[in-house]
C-alpha cells in the first residue's frame, strides 16, 4: 500500500469514529428522554398520557420501519436544513442520529420496563415525587441494560456509517467502496474489514466492561 | 396544629408524644392523642376486570389506635394488601374515607400527599431496595428527596442503621446482603424520617423462621422504643401471635372478625379465622383419634377438652378435685398472650360425672368421646 493510501485509511478511520461518536452522543441524549416518555406516559405509568404515548410510539415505529439507506436519501432536505450540506461527515451525522435515536429508545425502553414496579411503589411510599422516581429509581436501576443497549446501538451505527460512506460521507465504508470495490484493491478491502472488526470489538469490550462494573454492585 | 405542622416538615421526633406530660398544653394533648391513628370509614374498593366487578374491599370500618401493633390477616386475595395501601394512598378507595391522625387523606394534593407519606414508613415482602445504591444511600433517600441537609442526613442515617444493627454495612450494596439484613435496611429506610406509622406488607413472608423471629422482635422493640403505630399484614397467624396487640381477619374484602389478639386467637368465631389458626392448633393425636368411641363402654374414660381463653390460667388442683377420680393429662397447649391464658387441655377422666362437675366450676368443657380403660 502506498503512503497516501495509509494516510487515507487513517483519515477514514477518524471520520468514521467522528461520525459515529457524534451521532451516538445525540442518539443517547435524545433516546433516553424518549424511552422515559414511552415508559412513563403509558396508562398506569407515573406520567400517564395515553394519546401522546400512542402517537410517539407510532412515530418511533415509522422511523424504525424505514431502511437506513432509504432514510438517508429521504432526509436529504432535512439534512441540508440542519447542517447546510448533503455531503461529507456532518451530512452523515444527521441521518445516523435520526435513525439511531428511535432504535436506541426502544432498547432503553425494554430495560426501563424491567425495573421492578415494587421499587417505584417503595419510592412513592417514602415521599418521592415523580422526578425523583426518574432520577433515583428508573434511570439508575435500568442503567446496566441501557449501557448494554447503547453498545448494540453503536455497533449497528458503525455498520450504518459505512452505508453513509457510499453516498459521499467519507469514512471507512467510503474507502472500501471506492478503492476496495470499484478499483478491485483487495488489500484495501481486507484492511478496512480488519479495521471495522477491531473497532466493533473495541466498542463491545468497552460496553461489556462498563455493564459488568455496574452489575457487580 | 403545632405538632402536625412540625410533622409535615418531617422533623418532629418521636419524643413529641411524650410532651403530653404535666406541662403540655391541652391543645397539643388533643393532637398528640390523634397522632399515629388510622381510621377506615366504610372503605370499599372495586376493580373492573374481564369477569365484571371485583370487590377487593367491601365496606371496611376500622379504628387503629396510636402505638398499637395492628395485624391484618387473611388468605391471599382477601384484600389485606389493598387495605394497607389505602393508608398511604398507594391505592385509592372507590368509596369511603381513610383518616390518618383524624385527617381525611383523599383530598390531599401532591404536596400534602408527599408530606403524609413522609410520616408513614413502609416495608415490603421483597424489601424493594434500590440495587444501584449502597445501604447508606438507600436509607438516606427519603431525606435526600425531602431536601434535608447533608450533615443532618449523615447523622440520621447513622442513627437508623444503628437502630437496626447494620452500622458496619453502610457502604455495601443490597445484593451482598442476606434476606434478614435487606429487611433491616428496609426498616431503617422506613424509620429514617421519623414516621408515626409503619406499614409492613408481608414483611417476614420471604424470610426463614429464625430471621422472621429476629425481624419481629426488632419491630416490637421499635414499637416500644419509638412508640410508633405498626400496621402489618400477613397470612401467618404465628406472626400475629408473636407481636400483635390487635388483629382483624379479612375474608373476601370484608372484616370477618376483629379484636384483641388473645380473644380472637382464644375464641375464634369465624370459619376463616379457624382456618388461619389451623397450623397453630394441635389436633387430636392420631393414635387416640383412632380408638375413640362415641359411647361409653364398661370401664371406659371420657376424653374431655377444656378450653381457656381468659385471664386465669388453669388451676390444676381444682381440676383434679372436680374430676373426683383418676385423671390423665393427654395433651396440653396453653399459651400466654397479652396476659391471657389461651389454649386447651385434653384430659381423660373416669366416670361421666367429671364432665358435669367441671362445667359446674365454670370450665368450658367439650366431650370428644371415650377411650377404653387401659389407655
Structure confidence by residue, pLDDT tens digits, A61-90: 999 999 998 999 999 999 999 999 888 889
- Give B19's pLDDT tier (boundaries 50, 70, 90): very low
Q: Out of A30-39, B22-31, B248-257, which region has the weakest mean confidence (pLDDT)?
A: B22-31
SS3 per residue for chain A: CCHHHHHHHHHHHHHHHHHHHHHHHHHHHHHHHHHHHHHHCCCCCCCCCHHHHHHHHHHHHHHHHCCHHHHHHHCHHHHHHHHCCCCCHHHHHHHHHHHHHHHHHHHHHHHHHCCCHHHHHHHHHCCCCHHHHHHHHHHHHHHHHHHHHHHHHHHHHHHHHHHHHHHHHCCHHHHHHHHHHCCCCHHHHHHHHHHHHHHHHHHHHHHHHHHHHHHCC
- pLDDT, averaged across chain B: 87
Residue A97's pLDDT is 96
B6 has pLDDT over 50: no
Q: Is A118 on the interface with B (CB under 8 A)?
A: yes
Q: Dihedral of CA B60/B200/B65/B250: which sign?
A: positive
A contacts of B124 (beta carbons < 8 Å): 118, 121-122
Residue B52's pLDDT is 81
Distance CA A22, CA A111 (A): 23
Average pLDDT of the residues in A24-35: 97
A178 has pLDDT over 90: no
Cβ pair A141:B130 closer than 8 A: yes
Cβ pair B124:A129 closer than 8 A: no
Between A3-40 and A50-65, two packed helices, what is the crossing angle to 10 degrees? Answer: 160
Grid coordinates of B312? 386465669
- Give A170's pLDDT tier (boundaries 50, 70, 90): confident
SS3 per residue for chain B: CHHHHHHHCCCCCHHHHHHCCCCCCHHHHHHHHHCCCEEEEEEEEEEEECCEEEEEEEEEEEEECCCCEEEEEECCCCCHHHHHHCCCCCCCCCEEEEEECCEECCCCCHHHHHHHHHCEEEEECCCCCCCCCCHHHHHHHHHHHCCCCHHHHHHHHHHHHHHHCCHHHCCCCHHHCCHHHHHHHHHHHHHCCCCCEEEEECCCCCCCHHHHHHHHHHHHHHHHHHCCEEEEEECCHHHHHHHCCEEEEEECCEEEEEEEHHHHHHCCCCHHHHHHHCCCCCCCCHHHHHHCECCCCCCCEEEEEEEEEECCCCCHHHHHHHHCCCEEEEEEEEEEECCEEEEEEEEEEECCHHHHHHHHCCCEEEEEEEECCCC
B321 has pLDDT over 90: no
Task: Report, in angstroms and rounded to the nearest whole number, the Rg of chain B calculated over CA atoms.
Answer: 25
Q: Is B114 on the interface with A (CB under 8 A)?
A: yes
Distance CA B169, CA B93 (A): 39
Chain B residues 78-107 within an 8 A CB cutoff of chain A: 88, 90
Among B257, B260, B125, which Cα is nearest to B200's? Answer: B125
Average pLDDT of the residues in B275-303: 84
Among A143, A148, A138, A140, which Cα is nearest to A116's? Answer: A138
Average pLDDT of the residues in B259-270: 90
**Residue ranges making up the domain that contains A123:** 3-216
| pLDDT tens string A124-160 | 999 999 999 999 999 999 999 999 999 999 999 999 9
| pLDDT tens string B176-212 | 999 999 999 999 999 999 999 999 999 999 999 999 9
Q: Which of A162-171, A180-189, B88-97 has the highest mean pLDDT?
A: B88-97
- Give B32's pLDDT tier (boundaries 50, 70, 90): low
| pLDDT tens string B164-176 | 999 999 999 999 9
A191 has pLDDT over 60: yes
Q: Is A58 on the interface with B (CB under 8 A)?
A: no
Q: What is the ipTM of this complex?
A: 0.87
In Å, the largest CA–CA distance within chain B is: 84
Count of domains observed in chain A:
1
Cβ pair B118:A129 closer than 8 A: no
Q: Is the pTM of this model over 0.95?
A: no
B326 has pLDDT over 90: no
B311 has pLDDT over 80: no
Q: What percent of chain A has pLDDT over 70?
A: 99
Average pLDDT of the residues in B141-151: 96
B20 has pLDDT over 60: no
State the best of B7, B82, B87, B145 to mutate against chain A, taking most chain A CBs within 10 Å: B145
Strand partners, B250: B74, B255
B342 has pLDDT over 70: yes
Cβ pair B122:A125 closer than 8 A: yes
Average pLDDT of the residues in B37-50: 92
CATH assignment at residue A167: 1.10.3720.10
| pLDDT tens string A12-23 | 999 999 999 999
Among B346, B373, B195, B231, which Cα is nearest to B281's? Answer: B346
Average pLDDT of the residues in B90-117: 94
- Higher pLDDT: B344 or B246? It is B246
> CB within 8 A of B348, min separation 6: which ones?
B301, B302, B303, B304, B327, B328, B330, B371, B375
Question: Count of CB contacts below 8 A, A vs B?
Answer: 68
Q: Is there a contact between B319 and B360 (Cβ–Cβ < 8 Å)?
A: no
- Higher pLDDT: B233 or B278? It is B233
Residue B13's pLDDT is 38
Residue B29's pLDDT is 36
| pLDDT tens string B70-101 | 999 999 889 999 999 999 999 999 999 999 99
Grid coordinates of A185? 484493491
Q: Dihedral of CA B112/B114/B119/B122: which sign?
A: positive
- Residue B130 to chain A, least CA–CA distance (Å): 7
Q: Dihedral of CA B233/B234/B239/B241: which sign?
A: positive
Among B95, B102, B89, which Cα is nearest to B60's? Answer: B95
Cα A10 to Cα A166, A177, A185, B75: the distances in Å are: 18, 16, 17, 70
Amino acid at each position: 500500500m502506498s503512503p497516501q493510501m495509509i494516510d487515507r485509511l487513517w483519515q477514514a478511520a477518524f471520520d468514521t469514529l467522528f461520525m459515529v461518536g457524534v451521532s451516538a452522543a445525540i442518539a443517547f441524549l435524545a433516546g433516553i428522554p424518549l424511552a422515559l416518555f414511552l415508559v412513563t406516559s403509558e396508562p398506569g405509568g407515573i406520567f400517564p398520557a395515553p394519546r401522546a404515548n400512542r402517537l410517539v410510539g407510532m412515530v418511533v415505529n415509522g422511523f424504525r420501519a424505514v431502511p437506513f439507506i432509504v432514510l438517508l436519501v429521504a432526509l436529504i432536505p432535512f439534512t441540508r436544513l440542519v447542517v447546510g450540506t448533503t455531503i461529507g461527515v456532518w451530512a452523515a451525522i444527521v441521518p445516523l442520529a435520526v435513525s439511531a435515536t428511535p432504535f436506541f429508545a426502544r432498547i432503553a425502553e425494554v430495560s426501563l420496563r424491567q425495573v421492578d414496579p415494587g421499587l417505584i411503589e417503595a419510592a412513592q411510599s417514602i415521599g418521592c415525587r415523580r422526578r425523583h422516581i426518574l432520577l433515583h429509581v428508573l434511570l439508575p436501576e435500568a442503567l446496566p441494560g441501557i449501557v448494554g443497549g447503547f453498545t448494540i446501538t453503536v455497533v449497528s451505527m458503525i455498520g450504518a456509517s459505512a452505508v453513509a460512506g457510499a453516498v459521499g460521507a467519507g469514512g471507512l465504508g467510503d474507502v472500501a467502496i471506492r478503492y476496495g470495490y470499484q478499483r478491485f484493491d483487495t488489500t484495501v478491502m481486507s484492511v478496512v474489514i480488519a479495521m471495522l472488526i477491531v473497532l466493533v470489538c473495541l466498542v463491545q469490550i468497552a460496553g461489556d466492561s462498563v455493564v459488568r462494573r455496574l452489575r457487580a454492585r | 396544629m403545632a405538632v402536625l405542622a412540625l410533622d409535615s416538615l418531617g422533623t418532629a421526633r418521636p419524643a413529641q408524644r411524650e410532651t403530653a406530660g404535666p406541662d403540655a398544653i391541652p391543645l397539643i394533648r388533643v393532637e398528640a392523642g390523634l397522632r399515629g391513628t388510622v381510621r377506615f370509614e366504610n372503605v370499599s374498593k372495586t376493580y373492573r376486570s374481564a369477569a365484571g366487578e371485583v370487590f377487593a374491599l367491601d365496606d371496611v370500618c376500622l379504628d387503629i389506635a396510636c402505638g398499637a401493633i395492628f395485624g391484618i390477616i387473611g388468605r391471599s386475595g382477601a384484600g389485606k394488601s389493598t387495605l394497607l395501601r389505602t393508608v398511604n394512598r398507594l391505592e385509592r378507595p372507590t368509596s369511603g374515607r381513610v383518616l390518618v391522625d383524624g385527617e381525611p387523606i383523599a383530598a390531599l394534593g401532591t404536596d400534602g400527599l408527599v408530606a403524609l407519606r413522609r410520616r408513614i414508613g413502609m416495608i415490603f415482602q421483597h424489601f424493594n431496595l434500590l440495587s444501584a445504591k449502597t445501604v447508606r444511600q438507600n436509607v438516606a433517600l427519603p431525606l435526600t428527596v425531602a431536601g434535608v441537609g447533608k450533615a443532618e442526613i449523615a447523622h440520621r442515617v447513622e442513627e437508623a442503621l444503628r437502630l437496626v444493627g447494620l452500622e458496619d454495612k453502610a457502604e455495601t450494596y443490597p445484593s451482598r446482603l442476606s434476606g434478614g439484613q435487606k429487611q433491616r435496611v428496609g426498616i431503617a429506610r422506613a424509620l429514617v424520617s421519623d414516621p408515626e406509622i409503619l406499614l409492613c406488607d408481608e414483611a417476614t413472608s420471604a424470610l426463614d423462621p429464625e430471621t422472621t423471629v429476629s425481624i419481629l422482635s426488632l419491630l416490637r422493640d421499635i414499637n416500644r422504643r419509638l412508640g410508633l403505630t405498626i400496621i402489618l399484614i400477613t397470612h401467618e397467624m404465628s406472626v400475629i401471635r408473636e407481636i400483635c396487640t390487635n388483629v382483624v381477619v379479612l375474608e373476601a374484602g370484608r372484616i370477618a372478625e376483629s379484636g384483641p389478639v388473645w380473644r380472637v386467637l382464644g375464641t375464634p368465631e369465624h370459619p376463616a379465622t379457624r382456618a388461619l389458626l389451623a397450623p397453630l392448633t394441635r389436633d387430636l393425636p392420631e393414635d387416640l383419634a383412632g380408638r375413640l368411641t362415641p359411647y361409653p363402654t364398661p370401664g371406659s374414660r371420657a376424653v374431655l377438652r377444656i378450653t381457656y381463653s381468659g385471664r386465669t390460667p388453669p388451676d390444676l388442683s381444682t381440676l383434679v378435685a372436680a374430676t373426683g377420680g383418676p385423671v390423665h393429662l393427654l395433651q396440653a397447649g396453653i399459651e400466654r398472650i397479652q396476659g391471657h391464658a389461651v389454649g386447651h387441655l385434653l384430659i381423660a377422666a373416669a366416670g361421666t360425672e367429671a364432665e358435669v362437675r367441671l362445667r359446674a366450676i365454670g370450665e368450658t368443657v367439650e366431650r370428644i368421646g371415650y377411650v377404653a380403660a387401659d389407655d
